[in-house]
Amino acid sequence: MNLLTAAQAESFKRFLDAHGAFVIAAHKEPDGDGLASCLGVAALVSNLGKRSYLFSAGPFKRPEIKCWEKFFPKKLPPAAGDEDNPGLIIVDCSEKERLGEINLDLTTIDTFILDHHRTSAQGQAQAIIDPAAPSTTVVVQQLYEHLIGPVDGDTARTLFFGLATDTGFFRFISPGEGEALRAAARLVDGGADPRRIYDAMNGGKPFLTRKLLGLMLDRAEQKFNGRVIYTYETAQDTAKLGQFGRDSDALYQLLLSVDKVEAVLVVREETDKKCTAALRSRGDIDVSAIAAKFGGGGHKNAAGLSTEGSVQFLLKGILGEFAKIFKPAGAESC
For residue 268, list its beta bridge partners: 233, 276
Contacts 24+ apart (CB under 8 A), 232-239: 232/266, 232/267, 232/268, 232/269, 232/311, 232/315, 233/266, 233/267, 233/268, 233/269, 234/269, 234/311, 235/269, 235/270, 235/271, 235/272, 237/212, 238/268, 238/269
Give the per-residue pLDDT at 203: 84
Identify the CA nearest to 32 among candidates 157, 189, 176: 157
* Pick from 186, 224, 256: nearest CA to 321: 224
Q: Which residues of the chain have pLDDT under 70?
A: 118-124, 244-245, 328-334
pLDDT for res 328: 63
Interatomic CA distance for residues 162 and 171, integer angstroms: 14
207-326 under CATH 1.10.230.10, yes or no: no
The helix/strand/coil state of 278 is strand
Separation of alpha carbons 326 and 320, rounded Å: 10
Which class is 6-201 in CATH? Answer: alpha beta
Query: CA torsion angle for 31, 32, 38, 40 (degrees, to 10)?
Result: -170
Contacts of residue 280, defined as CB under 8 A and 6 or more positions apart, other chains included, come to 252, 255, 256, 263, 264, 287, 301, 302
> pLDDT (tens digit, 9 = 90+) per residue, 190-225?
999 999 999 998 888 889 989 999 999 999 999 999
Provide the pairing of β-strand 21-26 with 87-91.
Answer: parallel
Task: Break the chain into its structural domains and give their ranges.
Answer: 6-201, 207-326
Under 8 Å between Cβ of 124 and 134: no
Hey, what amino acid is at 287? V
Q: What is the DSSP letter of 270?
A: S
